[in-house]
Amino acid sequence: KKTLKQTLSEKIEEHRPRTKRLLKEYGDVVVDNVTVSQVIGGMRGLKSLVTDISYLDPEEGIRYRGYTLGEVIDSLPKPKGGSMPYVEGLFYLLLTGDFPNQEEVMQVVDEFSKRRIVPRYVYEVIDSFPCCSHPMAIFSTAILTLNRESVFNRQYHAGLNKKDYWEATYEDALNLLAKLPEIASYIYNKLYRQGPRIQSNPNLDMGGNFAHMMGIDKPYDDVSRLHFIIHSDHESGNVSAHTGHLVASSLSDIYLSISAMINGLAGPLHGLANQEVLRWLQDVMDKMGNKVPTEDEMKQFVWDTLNSGQVIPGFGHAVLRKTDPRYMLQREFSLKNLPDDPIFKYADLLYNVVPPILKEHGKAKNPWPNVDAQSGVIQWHYGVTEYDFYTVLFGIGRAIGICANIIWDRALGYPLERPKSITTDMLEKIAGIK
Ligand code: CMX
């Protein structure tokens, strides 16, 4: 039976001529034009990156390898008794474009399990962090600390052939991904539990083992699988994915690249928004004396937030122009599993109240909720109430997609990223002002 690495190797061989041909024969074909507002405005919408792992349609939302999230969840193999698929199966799909069968998934589950042990020095680094450090800073540093383990670095310095870069990167990626749930649950325990740590169970899959190490009963294993799967990839231009790709483009190893992407994810306009949603909701609850507010009271609170110059966390998106399917999947899960949860009721009220207000406010191009408006609500329900930790969970999921992307970047020989900058003076000349 072929391993994931062998299947991937064949896919890479098949794909390489396509990239080579585009470059050689069509290198001068114009893909897009660049406007002044794109140059000043964070390159919104500029088609300047390529990835086959996921594509974000503004109206439809994300597709992984051409499949909607619903199709991905329905078609990937699931553990016995579980309602959500193996995260390891998603990694197989992202890398190869094929849905694995049960046997192929179990191979990846075994690979992850074998590679999950975290060196002691990583725990020592985590333990030496000063109090009140944000878990994302600790998470990023723990990943960075592992850089000395890089197979890619060792082989590169021994004269690795360029066409084999991806193989060493694949080894690094698997070694890192397998360790992330262990590192994250250790950070959680250190910051918020301080009791003896629950040791990992090598017989469990990634989502199941994470729930076990967090000490949370079913269906938190399915919550974890769903969370890691829907957060894994959102094409290449978002801050975390782009950072991972950019740093890796200088041939920095996976540890340096994923640590960097975690830092990008930690910003409140990106991944940190899911903690902001809970902080904001708590604020509403405190002000309302813990009763579910009426629609009018909630509207007032939304307007007060906007009028004080703040954004409504969990709403809006740089690319999406409709409700995020990742939001809808989590809402469906919540309606089924936690319909009476008070925070879910708050969040659901926002689902009705915020979009018309954002439309009336007239600034946000997309008034609809994004993934972050729901993920913290589910975590809170299952007892993970320390919302500072939520972006770490996002980070575990996002690392899966970015590692798959970096492996393909190396396989297709994508070069060092180096866009050109110009001065305001030059921009004014181009605009015809000067
Ligand atoms: N509340 C209030 N104002 C908002 C808003 C929101 N939720 N979303 C956008 N706007 C405002 C922007 O701040 C901007 O205002 P200025 O012109 O004064 O700068 C204006 O509307 C236009 O912004 P946009 O083009 O619609 O959105 P951007 O591409 O610039 O930004 C995003 C996208 C997600 C950063 C923004 O919608 C936002 O800040 N949302 C709240 C934070 C959030 O939920 N982030 C998570 C996104 C998902 C993820 O990456 O994890």
- Phi, psi values for residue 315, rounded to 5°: -125, 150
Per DSSP (E only), the strands in 107-178 are none
Q: Record the pTM.
A: 0.96
Q: Which residues are catalytic?
A: 270, 317, 372
Per-residue pLDDT of the chain (434 residues; tens, 9 = 90+): 899 999 999 999 999 999 999 999 999 999 999 999 999 999 999 999 999 999 999 999 999 999 999 999 999 999 999 999 999 999 999 999 999 999 999 999 999 999 999 999 999 999 999 989 999 999 999 999 999 999 999 999 999 999 999 999 999 999 999 999 999 999 999 999 988 999 999 999 999 999 999 999 999 999 999 999 999 999 999 999 999 999 999 999 999 999 999 999 999 999 999 899 999 988 888 887 767 788 898 899 999 999 999 999 999 999 999 999 999 999 999 999 999 998 898 888 999 999 999 999 999 999 999 999 999 999 999 999 999 999 999 999 999 999 999 999 999 999 999 999 999 999 999 999 98
- Phi, psi values for residue 95, rounded to 5°: -75, -40
Return the CATH superfamily for domain 1-30+49-418: Citrate Synthase, domain 1 (1.10.580.10)
372 within ligand 1 shell (Cβ under 6 A): yes
* Centroid of ligand 1 to alpha carbon of 179 (angstroms): 33
Q: Which of 38, 277, 365 to probe ligand 1 with, by most ligand atoms within 8 A of CB?
A: 365
Nearest atom of ligand 1 to the alpha carbon of 319: 29
* Centroid of ligand 1 to alpha carbon of 313 (angstroms): 8
* Centroid of ligand 1 to alpha carbon of 365 (angstroms): 8
**ipTM rounded to 2 decimals:** 0.98
User: How would you classify residue 345: left for phi > 0, otherwise alpha for psi between -120 and 50, otherwise beta?
Assistant: alpha
- Phi, psi values for residue 68, rounded to 5°: -70, 165
271 within ligand 1 shell (Cβ under 6 A): yes
Residue 184's nearest CA partner among 384, 330, 405 is 384
* Centroid of ligand 1 to alpha carbon of 61 (angstroms): 17
How far is the C-alpha of 240 from the C-alpha of 274, rounded, in Å?
A: 15
Structural domain boundaries of the chain?
Answer: 1-30+49-418
Q: Which of 363, 371, 372, 390 to probe ligand 1 with, by most ligand atoms within 8 A of CB?
A: 363
- Rg (alpha carbons) of the chain, rounded to whole number: 22
How far is the C-alpha of 136 from the C-alpha of 274, rounded, in Å?
A: 13
